[in-house]
Amino acid sequence: MDTTAKTAYLTKDDAVPAQPKLLAHPTAKAGLMSWLTTVDHKRIGFLYGVFALFFFLVGGFEALLIRAQLMYPNGTVLSAQMYNTMFTMHGTTMIFLAVMPLSAAFFNYIMPLQIGARDVAFPRLNAFSLWTFVAGAIVLNIGWIGPIFGVDGHNAPDAGWYGYSPLTSKQFNPGHSVDYWVMGLQLLGVASIAASLNFIVTIINMRAPGMTMMRLPVFTWMTLITAFLIILSFPAITIALVELMMDRNFGTVFFEVSGGGMPILWQHLFWVFGHPEVYILILPAMGIISEILPTFSRKPLFGYPIVVFSGACIGFLGFAVWSHHMFTTGMGTVATAAFALATMAIAVPTGVKIFNWIGTMWGGRLMMRTPMMFALGFVWMFMIGGFSGVMHSAAPADTQQSDSYFVIAHFHYVLIGGSIFALLAGIHYWFPLMFGRKVSEFWGKLSFWIIFVGFNVTFFPMHFLGLNGMPRRTFTYDPNLGWNTANYIASIGAFVLGLGIAVYFAVMIYTYYKGEKVGRDPWDGRTLEWSIPNPPPEYNFRVIPTVHDRDAFWYEKNHREQIAAERAVAEKAEGAHGGVHMPFNSIWPLVAGFGLLIVGIGSTAFDAKWDVPGIHWKLGLALLGGLVTLVGIYLWSLEGNEGYHLHLDRDGKPVKGHGDDHSHGKQ
Amino acid sequence: MRSALPFLARVGWVLGALAGLLFLSGCDLKFWRMDGHQSTMIVEGPVARSQLSLFYVTCWVTLVIFILVGGVLAYTMWRFRARTEADERAEPPPQSHGNPLVEISLIGASVLALVIIAVPTLTAIWYTYDVPEAEKKNAYEVTATGHQWWFKFEYPSEQAAVDSAGAKAPLVTGNELVIPAGRPIRINVRTIDVIHSFWVPKLGGKIDMIPNRANFFWLQADKPGYFWGQCAEYCGDSHAVMRFRVIALDEKDFAAWKEKQLALARSVAVPVAPVAAATPVTALRTFKTNEVGVSEAFDRNPLEAWRAKQAVEKVENLALVAQGRELFAAKTCNACHAVRGHGAMGVQGPDLTHFGARSTLAAGLIENNPEQLRRWLRDPESVKPGNKMAKAYRDNKITLSDAEQVALTAYLLSLK
């Protein structure tokens, strides 16, 4: 490294290198500005988690309103239009604003730690993904001003989470709600794709020495596969949304029936995205479970290669089964048969995972701690959801089940019993690592049991409701159809589930402030994230570890002398090289994301008519927002890829004002 | 705290089991029997039956696998759990990494289980797709068209009288599809606006009505019966109340029904002198939002209730009927609704030529009786939010006084 390069590290004693004032690097280490300008993958992951959990509660509240409406036949809690808004926003919120970002929170926080990296490959792009996600979430929800403040024509989206054309056309949905939905999802897509590219580059390039692909922790593998699913599937919905936007605003006829458009095209485009999306929601969950079960069984994962391979297989087959969402659209015999068989085929790699999880526990020593409880709950519930999924693959039987409560039961078993249970397990599992505190076993298990019971009481009866002919998305039903008892039980269950979630959150918040403090590696972990102190220092690893085996940290714990010797050599080399290299904070990703927020609101909230002032606002704000984004990106690129170096004392604390730093200048 | 947990858990399980037993013994058993009007488990036609037997195949196969895998999982959880503090502190178990032989045989077993499902699935796909070749000649064809939020049924093979001059057009009815029992019915499904889905659970699975797409399917009722149907694809505000009925009749009854339907609307003799000083009309009671509109008597034997509707109303005030007929034009009902022979030719709303002979109204939502019909005429928006009739009331500032409601009701119910 060129030691004569311009010094550019930030400590109290060193002058910031000469820069135009605008480009001065933000230096806040605490407070609001430090969060707005952060590029630290752990802080970004934490923020993803906070936003996701907030929207999880919002979506849950919407669900409780739905269940309140359906508790009795001919319910009057919500109007028809409001009910339709609730189920649309419940679905959209839970998928795009709760489960996906919560998975992204773990990708961000845990994945770099698992591969022995100090950050993701593009820290500022990571911040940009976060703020763009927030912008998308705001645009998606901005329509609530209609019902809440009584503004005409501005409602929250109410066309269903899969927005089937032509119900989304200007003719049948003249207000702005669909525009918010389109632009909100579009921004979320930008955020997801940027984040996924980041994760892929990180996993491929930034693994610690010796961390071969077949030594990657399974959670990291699932991150990689999920990231690929996102970058391959989101373009389909991006195209569909652009076409819908053009139909609504510029008079094109992609889906416009009167112009010869094909509404069925929307369904294909949507589900080519939508089915891989299902695996985008479940694969991270499977990754978390594949970490927790070995840890608490104190055994390595059973059949690691086949678990990884089956994950990839699911990802691959996930692109070949989209039309099983369309068995009632009259696809004809051959297409229906092909998609039915492909759907059955995908059950095999899914089943393999279950077998391997059981194999992992077999002969182990199962420590029934809270994360393990949630993980076992996951395995049971996911099995039930998987089996009803296999039932759906029998296309003719599915024509009775599709769009009925049987389907509702099925996908809540895989999404709550699956994804959410795994994510809640992950929070418990990694909480000690993130915050250095541990949830009390009693309260953790109590919340698990309330959630588990509430969940089953809510969704198990829905199987019967669906087979008894209750269609989904109905704001009311008559008492003479035999659905009263099951609906009543489901609603009671929903309130129990809500109580369980409330307990879970209360316990988490209490633990964050007052919980029992724990030392490093409280679970006797197996992967590298447990090898660092908690909460993790900003630089993650004092010395980049060298990996010798699949469960890298387990190996370290059993080969302490060898590892210590290696560390000493590596530390010396790194010290000679200039210390721990850290990236500068930056405000520009936030600015770029904020510009997208202006574009999102400007282009959707105003009518595109030449004879009203709306068009000036619409064009003006869209152009202004685009400009802000461009300026943000431009200044971000002017910042260059500089960073600074940390020198650590024996306790791992950065040494202030160390004299002879060799920083990376512009390279 | 930790020692309290197992005890609490055990108490919880016992209480839960007790509550479950009490609940099972006390609750409405319909929930488990799944024998409602829209049951997919108790079916009355060959298409639905083939779908149901396929469902049972999938159900049994997955249930057996669930019991096997779940059994092993439960055993594993019980057998290998750490029981004591000492267990938790003990040396970790042997660090084994897997067993290819076990894994490959499990994969093989899963594939085999799926083949058991795949074969009947393929058979059923071809069977349910279209009327079997041998039966094609016997098949009866109708066209169902979805509207926001009602169903139009068209009989392309039946020519109905359109006016007294003898013009004819295919028979059109609304919301109640009358079919011959024991014959395969081939249904073309169309839509006029957004996507709807045609679903009569007891007769067969659903098929979507998609714009620019000529879908069809078939079903058959084993014997005469009265079946509940519902739109099964979200189609806007009132999707939940977009329902319909299918009435299957034996060959003779069907022919009789058809003959009546093909004729023009019934015209009653207008009394020479208007009835003087009609009794004052009382206002209709108020209805709760979403209030149920089907009586228990109707529900007990809907087919009989339907048959009863075919006959002329027992009490009929001819003067009111005549007044209602005038109102039908004066209030511009005829702009959207057709009444063949009465000069009403509208096509946006359901054809009302033989409205009085239907057992339900507002797309199968409420019973077709004077009270419910008045409820609908007075304020359609409250019955079916967002519907076009309510919009027409608002746009054209149409209101109906109590007397007008009564007269229109009398007229509409006279259309047998």
Q: How far is CA A136 from the centre of its chain?
A: 14
Q: Where are the domains of chain B?
A: 44-82+99-129, 137-260, 264-416
Q: Tell the residue number behind the tokens 């992204």, with chain if given.
A: A104
pLDDT for the residue B17: 75
Contact between chains at A363 and B94 (C-beta distance less than 8 A): yes
Task: Pick the residue of B39, B212, B286, B366 with the most A CBs within 10 A to test the interface with A by mutation.
Answer: B212
Listed range (A25-34, A524-533, B64-73, B335-344) with the worst mean pLDDT: A25-34
pLDDT, chain B, mean: 90
> In angstroms, rounded to a whole number, what is the distance separating the alpha carbons of residues B183 and A221?
57
B12 in contact with chain A, both atoms CB, cutoff 8 A:
yes
> In angstroms, rounded to a whole number, what is the distance separating the alpha carbons of residues A626 and B64?
58
Q: What is the pLDDT confidence band of residue A661, given thresholds at 50, 70 and 90?
A: very low
Contact between chains at A383 and B80 (C-beta distance less than 8 A): no
Tens of pLDDT, residues A193-204 = 999 999 999 999
> In angstroms, rounded to a whole number, what is the distance separating the alpha carbons of residues A493 and A456?
7
Contact between chains at B39 and A467 (C-beta distance less than 8 A): yes
Which candidate, A206, A228, A140, A215, places its Cα nearest to that of A179?
A: A140
Task: Specify the CATH class of A38-558 in words.
Answer: mainly alpha
Query: How far does the CA of residue A259 sit from the closest CA of chain B (Å)?
Result: 10
Length of chain B measured in residues: 416
B182 in contact with chain A, both atoms CB, cutoff 8 A:
no
Contact between chains at B98 and A84 (C-beta distance less than 8 A): no
Listed range (A662-666, B92-96, B208-212) with the worst mean pLDDT: A662-666
- Listed by number, the residues of chain B in 102-161 with a beta carbon closer than 8 Å to a beta carbon of chain A are 102-103, 106-107, 110-111, 114, 117-118, 120-122, 124-129, 148
Q: Which residues pair with B143 in a beta bridge?
A: B154, B188
Collect all residues of chain B within an 8 Å Cβ-Cβ radius of residue A449.
Answer: 9, 12
**pTM confidence score:** 0.93
Q: Averaged over A624-636, what is the pLDDT? A: 95
Structure tokens at A366: 């199962």
Contact between chains at B5 and A445 (C-beta distance less than 8 A): yes
Three-state DSSP state, A195:
helix
Which candidate, A540, A517, A539, A515, places its Cα nearest to that of A529?
A: A540
Which candidate, B249, B220, B242, places its Cα nearest to that of B132?
A: B220
- Of all residues in chain B, the one with the smallest CA distance to A159 is B236
Q: Are B48 and B205 in contact (CB under 8 A)?
A: yes
CA dihedral A476, A478, A482, A485 (to 10 degrees): 60
Collect all residues of chain A within an 8 Å Cβ-Cβ radius of residue B360.
Answer: none
Domain B137-260 sits in CATH at 2.60.40.420
Q: Are strands B185-191 and B140-147 parallel, antiparallel or unpaired?
A: parallel
Judge whether residue B178 has pLDDT over 70: yes
Contact between chains at A76 and B54 (C-beta distance less than 8 A): no
pLDDT for the residue B84: 83
pLDDT, chain A, mean: 90
Q: Averaged over B383-402, what is the pLDDT? A: 94
Assigned architecture for domain B264-416: Orthogonal Bundle (1.10)
B195 in contact with chain A, both atoms CB, cutoff 8 A:
yes
Q: Are B196 and B236 in contact (CB under 8 A)?
A: no
Nearest CB to A358; choose among B39, B76, B211: B76
- Listed by number, the residues of chain B in 242-301 with a beta carbon closer than 8 Å to a beta carbon of chain A are 288-292, 294, 296, 299
> In angstroms, rounded to a whole number, what is the distance separating the alpha carbons of residues A407 and A411?
6
- Of all residues in chain A, the one with the smallest CA distance to B365 is A478
pLDDT for the residue A11: 43
Buried residues in B27-37 as b, exposed as e (16+ CB within 10 A):
eeebbeebebb
Number of Cβ within a 10 Å radius of residue A61: 14
The residue type at B36: G
Contact between chains at B240 and A329 (C-beta distance less than 8 A): no
Which candidate, A110, A119, A106, A116, places its Cα nearest to that of A556?
A: A116
Tens of pLDDT, residues A80-132 = 999 999 999 999 999 999 999 999 999 999 999 999 999 999 999 999 999 99
Task: Pick the residue of B7, B57, B58, B104 with the most A CBs within 10 A to test the interface with A by mutation.
Answer: B58
Q: What is the pLDDT confidence band of residue A664, given thresholds at 50, 70 and 90?
A: very low
Q: Where are the domains of chain A?
A: 1-25+576-667, 38-558
Tens of pLDDT, residues B351-381 = 999 999 999 999 999 999 999 999 999 999 9
Q: What is the pLDDT confidence band of residue A7, given thresholds at 50, 70 and 90?
A: very low
Query: How far does the CA of residue B330 sit from the closest CA of chain A (Å)?
Result: 29
Nearest CB to B2; choose among A356, A442, A482: A442
pLDDT for the residue B15: 75
pLDDT for the residue A570: 87
**C-alpha distance across the termini of chain B, in Å:** 75
> In angstroms, rounded to a whole number, what is the distance separating the alpha carbons of residues B343 and B104?
75
Contact between chains at B205 and A396 (C-beta distance less than 8 A): yes
> In angstroms, rounded to a whole number, what is the distance separating the alpha carbons of residues A237 and A160?
15
Structure tokens at A397: 């039987």
- Of all residues in chain A, the one with the smallest CA distance to B58 is A391
Output phi, psi for A581, to 5 deg. Answer: -85, 130
Q: Are strands B140-147 and B150-161 parallel, antiparallel or unpaired?
A: antiparallel
Q: How far is CA A162 from CA A165, A178, A264, A628, B353, in A?
A: 9, 11, 13, 31, 39
Q: Are A177 and A158 in contact (CB under 8 A)?
A: yes
Q: How far is CA B171 from CA A82, B48, B141, B338, in A?
A: 38, 27, 12, 12
> With pLDDT > 70 as the criterion, what percentage of chain A qualifies?
94
Nearest CB to A300; choose among B58, B77, B97: B97
> In angstroms, rounded to a whole number, what is the distance separating the alpha carbons of residues B219 and A445?
51
Query: How far does the CA of residue A605 sit from the closest CA of chain B (Å)?
Result: 22
Q: Averaged over A422-433, what is the pLDDT? A: 96
B96 in contact with chain A, both atoms CB, cutoff 8 A:
yes
Q: Are A153 and A176 in contact (CB under 8 A)?
A: yes
Query: How far does the CA of residue B185 sit from the closest CA of chain A (Å)?
Result: 17
Task: Pick the residue of B57, B116, B210, B213 with the most A CBs within 10 A to test the interface with A by mutation.
Answer: B210
